[in-house]
Amino acid sequence: MLLLLALGIGTLAGCGVWLLLRSRTFDAILGLTLLSYAVNLFIFAMGRVKVGAAPIVEAGKSFTLANTADPLPQALVLTAIVISFSMTAVLLAIALRAHAQADSDHVDGQEPRS
Amino acid sequence: MSTARSHVHDRVHDRAGPLPGTNPAALGAQGRPVSVLGLLHGHEVVAPIVLPLLAGSVLVLLEKAGSRWVAVVSLAATLLLLALAVGLLLQASSGQVFPYLLGNWQAPWGIALALDRLSALLLLLTAVVASGAVLYSLGGDDRRGVHFHSLFQYQLMGLAGAFLTADLFNLFVFFEVLLAASYGLLLHGAGRARLKASVHYVVFNLVGSALFLMAVSLLYALAGTLNMADLAVKLAQLQPQDARLAQAAALMLLIVFAVKAALLPLYFWLPDTYAAASAPVAALFAIMTKVGVYAIARMTTLMFGVSAGGATAGAAAQALPLLALATLVLAALGALAATRLRGLVAYLVVASAGTLLLAIGLGTAGTVAAGLFYLVNSTLVAAAWFLLADRISAARGGTDLLEPRALAHGWAPLGVAFFVAAVAVAGVPPLAGFLGKAWLLQAAVQTPLAAWVVALVLGSSLAMMVALSRAGSALFWKPGEVADETTAVATTASGTSAPLPNHPCHTGAVSLLLAAVLASALAAGPLSAYTAAAAEQLLQRQPYIDAVLGARPVPPAYDVRKEMRERVRERGELK
């Protein structure tokens, strides 16, 4: 389970970074999206992965982290998802505008002279 | 003034007793308010965040309705923030740390804010720069796009929050607030150059945010807390097997802040972005690099200081001064190679960030004090420069290329302003830029890097002086022909919008910021005493930790939670 999660985060982050290093805005945006998925999973994993634990409180059990999942990273992930989602939307709007104006989706706003 | 007013509030409180909403943090040992901002009933620490939030939200509606009150509300809110910042500075100058518990939750479970000398100083600086920028924008820049003023206020909210918060994740949120607003402001009155710079700037900062989140969650996984004061305690007690992970998290955080502060390998976004932004936005952005500097100063003293103990102690103490020196050298070269005035000014901002990070990286009380003194001057003068550069290019028909070009009107006021700003930014006597650098050199003599610091700081100052005098002589001393048709077309095609005619607001804003630069030189005595005290407070972490973790929630006058519990119990008994 842990290995699967770690491999998943690593793959997502790796693909994200590779796409980010490309010179088209669309690739860069996809890369950022993958990177933010990796980050969100990473935050989630930092609260220790538990299978079958109650999110906050379970009836009849005392509230300690031994019995429940850590609720704080879940709250952090929620904030991070909202922020990265809206920022991606902003970036998409900027990229579309730049594409419309420059007639090129190169990140520098013009095709490289080859 | 302060004694008289606090006396009045003492009497009010003696009669009424502490009000239910009063935060205990603002009360002295005898339960008396030590604040001159007693009208806010202990909520004055959160006020610089709430005020721009409210103003920005009102402005969204007013701008949508096309109201004429937009300018008035925006200016009034900024001036009110200025007054508030002055009050908070007076309060913080007592040397106490003022914590504030958001939602009355005790730290480290809730989010805490904390006001100390350093954050009060940066708040005041933000308010002064913002006043100049918003005044300048009323000269016509604010009408070039939509929602300038509301974005401006949200940016102020993000800045104030970043300076005040004592919680690492909250710092991330305020960083995002100020960045989101800055994306909008950067695009304001968009042109092609601005769009290109925006794409780079946004992508770069989003990657920075991803790193920030990783570092924060890694620290949480290791220490189990996000409160900066609590982290400072817990990081010193880490198990040895976690040491490497903690160091990685600490360095990732420093990379994120170095992106904002424009440290060497990470400053390449800055010159393009700042040169492409509209003038009032660029002036406000002058304080944005200082957020990174502030965050590095706070982290390297409170959590990762050499004296902090634990695996992360002095995490970047070796690298920071060296990278700062390299930044300084490259910024000086960039300034020499600049072909446009705004590009030159942007490199001056990088150079000032390099000097500041050098002062913080050297890490003695003397260098940090000198650095904070230099920070005040360099921020004010950088903001003044961006506004002035816009006026100069407007007088030259909309171009700021550093080549002879006729001026539309007399050179005298612009030339004098250029001279004053150049003297202040290059660090030539008698202005405060010189005092700050001289103090830094004096203080750096006792550090191991002394020879390099003296040589490179003086060398970069010389290079900046050469660059500025070359720019000044090209701009003012070689009256060329009136711009011919081809170059005029070329500059409009590159995305610069048509220059705005002179407006009293422009003159007022430039004079205001230059007057603030001169005032920081005239008031060098009190200012240096304040920054020395701020540096001392920054390097002593224990009072900050005690204040934040020792703040207790106010006993509620009306306990909603208790009442809800009782109601649930009653209902259970009925069943």
A28 belongs to a structural domain: yes
Q: What pLDDT is stored for residue A57 in this prediction? A: 75
Q: What pLDDT is stored for residue A43 in this prediction? A: 93
* Mean pLDDT calculated for residue range B480-505: 56
Say if residue B34's pLDDT is above 60. no
Q: The tokens 């924060």 sit on which residue? A: B216
Higher pLDDT, A40 or B275: A40
> Is the Cβ pair B192, A102 closer than 8 Å?
yes
> Is the Cβ pair B206, A48 closer than 8 Å?
no
> Is the Cβ pair A101, B176 closer than 8 Å?
no
Nearest to B199 among A47, A88, A94 (CB): A94
- Which residues in chain A touch residue B202, judged by CB atoms under 8 angstroms apart? 87, 90-91, 94
Closest by Cα among B262, B245, B202, B299 to A84: B202
Q: What pLDDT is stored for residue B479 in this prediction? A: 58
Q: What is the mean pLDDT of chain B?
A: 84
- Which residues in chain B touch residue A112, judged by CB atoms under 8 angstroms apart? none
A59 belongs to a structural domain: no
Task: Give residue B369's identity as a one-letter amino acid code.
Answer: A
pLDDT winner (highest mean) among A47-56, B60-69, B95-104, B160-169: B160-169
Say if residue B305's pLDDT is above 80. no
Say if residue B4's pLDDT is above 70. no
Indicate the pLDDT class of residue B481, thresholds 50, 70 and 90. low
Indicate the pLDDT class of residue B274, thresholds 50, 70 and 90. confident
Using an 8 Å Cβ cutoff, are B335 and B342 in contact?
Answer: no
Indicate the pLDDT class of residue B558, thresholds 50, 70 and 90. confident
**Ranges B83-97, B103-117, B361-375, B411-425: which has the least confidence:** B411-425
Nearest to A98 among B173, B176, B199 (CB): B199
Nearest to A83 among B176, B203, B226 (CB): B176
**Ranges B214-228, B233-247, B391-405: which has the least confidence:** B391-405
Say if residue B187's pLDDT is above 60. yes
Range of the domain at A85: 2-50+64-102
Nearest CA in chain A to B214: A39
Q: What is the pTM of this model?
A: 0.88
Size of interface A-B (CB pairs under 8 A): 88
Say if residue B3's pLDDT is above 50. no
Say if residue B220's pLDDT is above 90. yes
Query: How many domains does chain A fold into?
Result: 1
Nearest CA in chain B to A83: B176
Nearest to A90 among B192, B202, B226 (CB): B202
- Which residues in chain B touch residue A107, judged by CB atoms under 8 angstroms apart? 199-200, 203
Q: What pLDDT is stored for residue B562 in this prediction? A: 80
Q: What pLDDT is stored for residue B493 in this prediction? A: 37
Say if residue B308's pLDDT is above 90. no
- Which residues in chain B touch residue A79, judged by CB atoms under 8 angstroms apart? 169, 173
Here the tokens at position A62 are 């005392």
> Is the Cβ pair A76, B169 closer than 8 Å?
yes
A7 belongs to a structural domain: yes
Q: What pLDDT is stored for residue B112 in this prediction? A: 93
Say if residue A61's pLDDT is above 80. no
Report pLDDT digits (tens) over B310-332. 777 777 778 888 999 999 999 99
Measure B399 CA to nearest chain A CA, in Å. 21
* Mean pLDDT calculated for residue range A71-87: 91
* Mean pLDDT calculated for residue range B165-184: 93
> Is the Cβ pair A90, B195 closer than 8 Å?
no
Rounded to 5 degrees, φ, ψ at A110 are -155, 150
A112 belongs to a structural domain: no
Where in chain B are the domains?
45-482+494-551
pLDDT winner (highest mean) among A34-38, A70-74, B231-235, B495-499: A34-38
Tell me what ipTM this predicted complex has.
0.94
Q: What percent of chain B has pLDDT over 90?
A: 46
Q: The tokens 């081809």 sit on which residue? A: B486
Ramachandran area for residue B66 (φ above 0: left; ψ -120 to 50: alpha; else beta): left
Q: How much is the CA Rg of chain B, to the nearest whole Å?
A: 24
Q: What pLDDT is stored for residue B38 in this prediction? A: 67
Indicate the pLDDT class of residue B500, thresholds 50, 70 and 90. confident
Q: What pLDDT is stored for residue B316 in this prediction? A: 77
Report pLDDT digits (tens) over B329-380. 999 999 999 888 888 999 999 999 999 999 998 888 899 999 999 999 999 9
Q: What pLDDT is stored for residue A16 in this prediction? A: 95
Say if residue B495's pLDDT is above 50. no
- Which residues in chain A touch residue B217, judged by CB atoms under 8 angstroms apart? 42-43, 46, 73, 76
- Which residues in chain B touch residue A102, judged by CB atoms under 8 angstroms apart? 192, 195-196
Using an 8 Å Cβ cutoff, are B152 and B134 in contact?
Answer: yes
Q: What pLDDT is stored for residue B494 in this prediction? A: 41
A42 belongs to a structural domain: yes
* Mean pLDDT calculated for residue range B447-470: 90
- Which residues in chain A touch residue B203, judged by CB atoms under 8 angstroms apart? 20, 28, 32, 91, 107
Dihedral angle sign, alpha carbons of residues B274, B276, B278, B279: positive
* Mean pLDDT calculated for residue range B159-178: 94
Q: Which residues pair with B340 in a beta bridge?
A: B401
CA B199 to each of CA A12, A36, B31, B173, B389: distance values in angstroms, whole numbers, following the listed order = 22, 17, 52, 21, 24
Closest by Cα among B150, B267, B151, B255 to B200: B267
Q: What pLDDT is stored for residue B153 in this prediction? A: 95
**Ranges A48-57, B61-70, B113-122, B136-145: which has the least confidence:** A48-57
* Mean pLDDT calculated for residue range B514-519: 92
Nearest to B200 among A48, A97, A107 (CB): A107
Q: What pLDDT is stored for residue A101 in this prediction? A: 82
- Which residues in chain B touch residue A95, judged by CB atoms under 8 angstroms apart? 199
Nearest to B210 among A36, A47, A98 (CB): A36
Nearest to A46 among B173, B180, B217 (CB): B217
Closest by Cα among B365, B527, B497 to B436: B527
Task: Give residue B393's identity as a one-letter amino acid code.
Answer: S
* Mean pLDDT calculated for residue range B84-109: 90
Rounded to whole angstroms, how far apart are CA atoms B295 and B293? Answer: 6
- Which residues in chain B touch residue A91, judged by CB atoms under 8 angstroms apart? 199, 202-203, 206
The residues, any chain, with a CB within 8 Å of residue B464's CB and separated by 6 or more, are B332, B335, B348, B351, B425, B426, B427
Indicate the pLDDT class of residue A99, thresholds 50, 70 and 90. confident
Higher pLDDT, B28 or B151: B151
